[in-house]
A = this chain, B = another copy of it.
Amino acid sequence: MKFSEIIEKFEIELVQGTSLTAHPDCNPQVTGIASLETATAETLAYCEGGKYAAIVGETAAIALILPVDEELQRIASDRGIAWVATPHPRLLYAIAISLFYQPYQPKPQIHPTAIIDSSASLGQDVSIGAHAVIGENVKIGAGVCIFPNVTVYPGVEIGDRTILHANCTIEERSKIGADCVIHSGVVIGSEGFGFVPSDRGWVKMHQSGIVVLEDCVEVGCNSAIDRPPTGETRIGYNTKIDNLVQIGHGCKIGSNCAISSQVGLSGQVIVGNGVLLAGQVGVANQVKIGDGAIATAKSGLHKDVDAKAIVSGYPAIPNKLWLKISAVYNRLPEMYKLFRRMAKK
């Protein structure tokens, strides 16, 4: 694909200049995408900011997606590299990758070893892999792709074009929207951790509720989303969940959130829209997190978090305060020495 053809695929408002204007003849054939370090004379790479100037000066890439940075553009032009400048290099990089690569997906076909209950309904052009098991009264939308060894319990509904990767399990009555991606090993709709203390030890509370995933939700490998005793656990539109995440019974998560790997949400946590939870964050029972809030890695949230707040640490405090504390934390032994001297007086 010619470099100019790639640029045509980008939304016009994302492009703020290209070497083609000054050097229309420098319009190389691009055969793939690579990182700056591993690029070859046939590949397009991208660069996020000025700190990569040295690498731009050495990369073997034939074409570059650059930030709006005249210095980088000059280096690239001097080296005869075609470039396009944009305020959103990563976004254009994502679009460029999709021009050359699509993830593997089997053709629509029901494998003869799949076990599909006769009461299940299947949409058009469904793919169901070898040894998948589909239970009673399951409803599968058009274009759904179910990889091998997936198990779907009775009463589940799966929206159009949703992908279930190998070895995942969708338990009873879960409702999964359209255009979702459920990665391998995920378990959706299992029983919430509901045990009540009593004189005779833990008594199990059955979990009669369900899990609902709205459209365009993605759930990473080996994550678990539990169903509640009554009502719903709900994940909002276009929310993305990374690997090994725990979502407890009855949580309600808004739309367009990003929940990083190994985050754990206890029961009945309420998360707004556009919330970012970084890796290994933990959230206690019934905590409410406002729209657009951010919790940095490893923080532990015990209390409600305001919309747009950035919190850190455990127990979580405002990020700015946490950064100040982290800066002086290392001086504690010195402070303690002085404290001891003064306490003696």
| B298 A279 Cβ-Cβ under 8 A | no
Inter-chain CA distance A314–B323, complex, in Å, is 11
Contact A264 B282 (CB under 8 A): no
A244, B226: Cα distance in complex, Å: 12
Mask, A314-345, CB within 8 Å of B = 1, is: 11010001001111111111111011001100
Residue of B115, B169, B342 touching A131 (CB-CB under 8 A): B115
Verify A324–B331 contact, CB threshold 8 A: no
Once the chains are docked, how many angstroms separate the CA of A33 from the CA of B130? 39
Choose among A166, A262, A317 the residue with the greatest number of B CB atoms under 10 Å from its CB.
A166
Known A-B contacts A115-B148, A243-B224, A339-B335; A330 and B314 likewise in contact (beta carbons under 8 Å): no
Is A93 among interface residues, defined by CB-CB distance under 8 A? Answer: yes
Q: Is there a chain B Cβ closer than 8 Å to A139's Cβ?
A: no
**0/1 string, A191-210, CB within 8 A of B gives 1:** 10111101001111111100
Q: Complex: how many Å from CA A321 to CA B149?
A: 50
Q: Does A124 contact B (CB under 8 A)?
A: no
Q: Across the interface, do A326 and B331 meet the contact criterion of CB distance under 8 Å?
A: no
Q: How many copies does the complex hold?
A: 3
Is A141 close to B, CB under 8 A?
no
Is A297 close to B, CB under 8 A? yes
Q: Which listed segment binds B: A20-28, A64-72, A73-81, A180-188? A: A180-188
A32 to B147, CA, bound (A): 36
Does A7 reach chain B (CB closer than 8 Å)? no
Q: Are B203 and A91 in contact (CB under 8 A)?
A: yes
- The docked-state distance in angstroms from the alpha carbon of A334 to that of B195 is 40
Closest chain B residue, CB of each to CB of A332:
B325
**Which residues from 115 to 155 on chain A have a C-beta closer than 8 Å to any C-beta of chain B?**
115, 129-131, 133, 147-151, 153-155
Which residue of the partner chain, among B153, B195, B218, B329, contacts A258 with CB atoms under 8 Å?
B195
Q: Which of A32, A100, A184, A338 has the most chain B CB within a 10 Å cutoff?
A: A184
Instruction: Name A's interface SS.
Output: loop
Q: Does A38 contact B (CB under 8 A)?
A: yes
The CA-CA distance from A342 to B335 in the complex, in Å, is: 10
Complex Cα gap A317–B101 (Å): 41
Q: Which residues of B contact A332 (CB under 8 A)?
A: 324-325, 328-329, 332
A residues apposed to B, CB below 8 Å: 32-35, 38, 88, 90-91, 93-95, 97-98, 100-104, 111, 113, 115, 129-131, 133, 147-151, 153-155, 165-169, 171-172, 181, 183-185, 187, 190-191, 193-196, 198, 201-208, 218, 220-224, 226, 229-231, 238, 240, 242-244, 246, 248, 255-256, 258, 260-262, 264, 266, 279-280, 282, 284, 297-298, 300, 302, 314-315, 317, 321, 324-336, 338-339, 342-343
